[in-house]
Amino acid sequence: MGMEEEPNRRRLYRVWRGSNKFLCGGRLIFGPDAGSLFLSTALIAGPLVGLCCQCITKMNSSASDHKNHVVLGLPVLIATVLLGLADLAFLFLTSSRDPGIVPRNARPPECGVEEQAVDMTTPSTEWVNTASPHLRVPRTKDVLVNGCTVKVKYCDTCLLYRPPRTSHCSICNNCVQKFDHHCPWVGQCIGLRNYRFFFLFISTSTLLCIYVFALSWLNVAAEREQYGGSMLKSMGGEVLSVVLIVYTFVSVWFVGGLTVFHSYLMTTNQTTYENFRYRYDKKENPFNRGAIANVAEVFFTRMPPSLNRFRSWVSDHDDAYGGAGAGGVFSPMSGGVDLEMGRKGVHYSAGGVPAILQGLDYSEMEKMEGVGVHVKDRQAAPDLFMISAGRQNDVGCGADILVRQLYTIKMRRGR
């Protein structure tokens, strides 16, 4: 209890750099568009409530007439409730769990010897390498997967090489393992740790659509005798059944199409992201182990634990602000401590600038001969001193040149 009152210690989920929303003290994690979850819940629950009301009405009328309704009775009511609860449970499990977020590195990857040919002794060079690490880091690396070479890309936001099949979601602002897509209907990324529940959600929704569609037609047909054997008159008398028929007929094309498409992806061990980019059209899929093994991988393998401890404590000066919490950052590429983490050298505080580069401005640059930076070039080379620490990692090559020129000016003024 006392730890919660310390001003310099906070839960990791409270300082998380992604765009996620957390509930229950960081135990539940949602995407930034989690509000769509309420719409999806209403779209599922609406027709089910209508069918249940029909069942209760028919049961009451049958009890007064001392006969059982041949279609909408107690068994249908129980089955509708169970299927509806299962569908909503799969929706919630998909939306509220970590989809497989890869922890951010607090520092950029350590460069190899061949990439450090430039002199690293001056403060300006050390600061450039710390503030703009992507200038000195290879954009891709080759990784061997099941005998096939796979390229992995460097993520400028998360400061790591993305493990195979990992992509950065621009909506959640996280790198996600086995990234499939960001689903607006569940308000969450679909990845390694929630794809199983996502498929169960869309397949159960498809089953519900067919179930309600069939029962509504059977109800209309069963009530035809009360309307002189006319199907049209029976449809006019069972308006709610007709509404459910139209609603489920339209919905089944959407969720049914998704179910068929993801059934194909699952049996071929692809993701939506890979399929849309034609990743394996002209080369072999190194992850495809056959249809049965691919399906078993989704449903019958142990769910990998989350790489993040959102409820762990971090301090104001803890590197865990950009990582997984106390205990370091882990990566599935290495199987242990992340080999991509950590750069030896000088570290500056947020927004800090080496003393040798302080007190300089652009006007001095324009007065110096031989320094080819003009006012019109400032848009291409933004002033690093006016950029927050959170954005310094995104500054490009123009900033690298600018700092070197500022250092040259300082040296000339000191002569």
Is 111 one of the catalytic residues? no
Catalytic residue among 183, 189, 209, 397: 183
Residue 158, CA distances (Å) to 10, 162, 175, 205, 404 in order: 21, 9, 7, 35, 26
The residue count of the chain comes to 415
> Do residues 35 and 187 lie in contact, with contact meaning Cβ atoms separated by under 8 Å?
yes
DSSP for 122-172 reads: SHHHHHHHHH-GGGGS-SEEEEEETTEEEEEEEETTTTEEPPTT-EEETTT
> 15: how many CB neighbours lie within 10 A of its CB?
13
Calpha distance 172→185 (Å, rounded): 14
* Buried residues in 99-131 as b, exposed as e (16+ CB within 10 A): bbbbbbbbbbbbbeeeeeeeeeeeebbbbbbbb
Active site residues: 183
